[in-house]
Structure 1
């Protein structure tokens, strides 16, 4: 359900205006349908931002959300600063307010992508959202640092670094596609892929389901896991299917190759 919602949101998100509250609420409804009860509406209770079992930020009380979000959206509509900074500031303030009962991280990433794509359409296809998701520990550390210092700079610096890394990664992939064979691409990606090394390091000499492998590396997004972890490991000959002639078999398992 989470994946279906995300696909629907990203397929239609360019119809939304970043500074319109009605569009923000509609996006949350699409993104969180079937996952929580309070979809498309601001939260009615208190929430905190958690990293594991640790609270890294306590959000403002629910009775302040309407005012805070109105101020933030007004600022977004009136701001004339560079979109890279503007989108990062919005992202931080949005996460600080934490206006929804759940889905705030996903909404913040979606809305930054929307703001950036209004500046340059190339950001529709640059995986900033995925890279932030893959670096959640550093994300939480930056959020806490900004909260502790009452200064958004650490969080903004982190987000800008993620944007730069995503652009460079996309550029590297494009160059590889132009100048190397498919096998060479797989080897090059493997050399750069901390994700593959992470997957191999946690696998023991036993058979795993796809869900079990995702749990090992702490991911819930199936498509991201297959693209960045599992498929590159299989292509590189580091992981094998137990039923190689039926890749989509419900009985499929995966094992590390000695």
Structure 2
């Protein structure tokens, strides 16, 4: 959020800066291994632009401070599949009473919460990896398992499929120095569920 907000603020792309910032952001995230599409940017382009403004605009005399919460909600939807309501009216400064709608919470209800994990094997694996990069052998030792086939079938593969864990070398699954790490979604689960 801070990186994209700061990039947009310095206006490096000239005419069409917001549009180009969106395209750059998509390419940047893809270069880090995220499967990001243009849909959210296209469907909420006005919200994205206004969220960038709110993340950068400040007027001390009028008591208006920078607020990146709206941009954070956008990126939480984009990266970890949350379902925050993205409405421009939530960003109106000093909104009149008839527009004052309670601001949605940044965490969806538990029934559609993408950070809710029902699989105990995945929860244990997320806790084991934490902020580290681990090999299969290191992960198995950390969770106390010895059967590699069972570990792959019931822990690692489901965690990768559900977007909690990714490979360090995704283009070379059998890389001799292959390690595994938490995705942003996995880190969000690790932090929000107090798995530390």
TM-score normalized by the length of structure 1: 0.26
Q: Which has the higher helix share?
A: 1
TM-score normalized by the length of structure 2: 0.32
- Structure with the greater relative contact order (CA < 8 A, sep ≥ 6): 1 or 2? 2
